[in-house]
Structure 1
Amino acid sequence: MNRLLITILIFCTFAQLIFSQEGNETEIPSESDSLKTNLRQSGVIMQDSLFEKKKVINPLAPSKAAFYSAAIPGLGQIYNKRYWKVPIVWGAIGGSVYAYTWNNNNYRRFRTAFIRRKAGFTDDEFFDLNGDNLATDPPDLDDGDLENQQERFQEDRDLWLVVSIALYALNIVDANVDAHLKQFNIDDNLSFDFEPYLDLNPITNNPNYGMALTIKF
């Protein structure tokens, strides 16, 4: 009888402990349970400052900029929003074209006078530069002078033609390269991580050691 009473008391004690623990868990939820509930309801939001700014890459931008500069010098710089380059482009190309035109006009003047002088005429603008109207006097610029001036202006004209073409091509190259460089990531958040590297060879199962360089942007 005593053994039976002792057994009943032990069973009741264990039952009371089990029910009390279940009641405590129901009434007071633990922090881990509340955290799991919050995670199921709202989820986790992680924001990395390195990826806040997403830069859109346009692969056709360099071609467009080059095409615009080829059509109208300086227009590619405007497309790239490099407005300060536009006066430089216009001044360089415009100045070289003006120099070419000026030398070409002088070349034509001396060439026309030289041809007329060889034909026996003395009414060209370089025959009497002093304005003394003395036809018997020797010309102020003789045939040799006209020929030398003609050749000098011809050489300068050809030189400025080459310069104009080079500046025009440089304008196109500048617009194309500038459009390329604008799309490079030069953010201050660029960083890299240098850490040990360990891998197992799948065939020999031997470890391979090394260093891994990871660029983060």
Structure 2
Amino acid sequence: MKSRTSILLVIFILFAGQLFAQQDSISVTTERIIAEEPDYDPYDPLSPARAAFYSAVLPGLGQAYNGKYWKIPIVYAALGAGVYFYLDNDKQYDRYRDAYKSRLAGKTTDEFSDENGRPIVSTNGLIQGQKFYQRNKEISILVTVGMYALNIIDANVDAHLSQFNVSEDLSLKPTLDFDRHSGQAGYGLTLNFNF
């Protein structure tokens, strides 16, 4: 009986030693996960309306409010081009209109006649020129108003999109997962997103 007890005691000591040896090799790591503060400003629902209002009051001011200063010269170039073409077409229209009025008054010394008083451009041509430049003036006004409206829309949309959260919390990464029980590797893709 004594030998049986001593054998059980030896087995128990060996088993306990093995158990403690394995426990030392297993390291348990605990990490404390701390939620980080977002690095973006909180959502301001009035920011798009404010940017649109600023652009309506003074073109380019909404872009400055959004911090997109590089867009301001584009806004003024677009509006300036529309105004330039309106003024140029208005000047050409006035030339044709003045020549047409002088022809109706019986004068032959307009700018569209040669030195002898013979017309270079016919009276019908003067009417067509007036219609052409009048149409171009109207298109220039429409383009200028369209650019003004586009300036307001751009400021509003940019203010909306600047508050859109584009962070690294949303990612797609390939992973390799090693299964400890079966000893096999598992392959796959993970889509990580945090709210």
TM-score normalised over the length of structure 2: 0.67
Any unmatched runs of 5+ in structure 2?
A: 1-31, 173-191
Answer yes or no: is the 8 Å Cα contact 1:110–1:149 preserved in 2.
yes
Query: In 2, Cα distance between the equivalents of 1:52 and 1:108?
Result: 61
Q: Out of 173-182 and 140-149, give the one that drifted further.
A: 140-149
Answer yes or no: is the 8 Å Cα contact 2:169–2:193 preserved in 1.
no
**Residue of 107, 115, 122 corresponding to 1:142:** 122
Paired residue secondary structure (1:216): coil
- What do residues 158-197 of structure 1 show as CA deviations (whole Å, max 9, x unaligned)? 11111111111011000001001111111112479xxxxx
CA shift at 1:215, angstroms?
A: 5.9
* 1:182–1:189 Cα change, 3 Å: same
Query: In 1, Cα distance between the equivalents of 2:82 and 2:70?
Result: 20
Q: Give the match for residue 142 of structure 2.
A: 162
Any unmatched runs of 5+ in structure 1?
A: 1-44, 193-213
- What do residues 48-91 of structure 1 show as CA deviations (whole Å, max 9, x unaligned)? 13x34352222221111111111111111111011111111111
User: How many residues in Structure 1 have an aligned counterpart in Structure 2?
Assistant: 145
Query: In 1, Cα distance between the equivalents of 2:35 and 2:82?
Result: 52
Query: In 1, Cα distance between the equivalents of 2:89 and 2:111?
Result: 17
TM-score normalised over the length of structure 1: 0.61
Query: In 1, Cα distance between the equivalents of 2:91 and 2:104?
Result: 20
Query: In 1, Cα distance between the equivalents of 2:33 and 2:40?
Result: 16
- Root mean square deviation of aligned Cα: 2.2
Give the letter aligned to residue 48 of structure 1: A
Paired residue secondary structure (1:84): helix
CA shift at 1:142, angstroms?
A: 2.2
* 1:157–1:176 Cα change, 3 Å: same
Moved over 3 A (4+): none
* 1:52–1:61 Cα change, 3 Å: closer
Q: Give the match for residue 166 of structure 2.
A: 186
Give the letter aligned to residue 102 of structure 1: D
Query: In 1, Cα distance between the equivalents of 2:143 and 2:194?
Result: 45
Larger radius of gyration: 1
Query: In 2, Cα distance between the equivalents of 1:188 and 1:215?
Result: 9
Answer yes or no: is the 8 Å Cα contact 1:191–1:216 preserved in 2.
no
CA shift at 1:150, angstroms?
A: 1.0
Give the letter aligned to residue 166 of structure 1: G
Q: Give the match for residue 97 of structure 1.
A: 83
* 1:112–1:187 Cα change, 3 Å: same
Q: Give the match for residue 85 of structure 1.
A: 71
Give the letter aligned to residue 187 of structure 1: S
Query: In 2, Cα distance between the equivalents of 1:178 and 1:54?
Result: 16
* 1:122–1:54 Cα change, 3 Å: closer
* 1:146–1:161 Cα change, 3 Å: same
Answer yes or no: is the 8 Å Cα contact 1:104–1:153 preserved in 2.
yes
Query: In 2, Cα distance between the equivalents of 1:145 and 1:54?
Result: 63
Question: Does 1:172 pair with 2:147?
Answer: no
Identical pairs, percent: 44
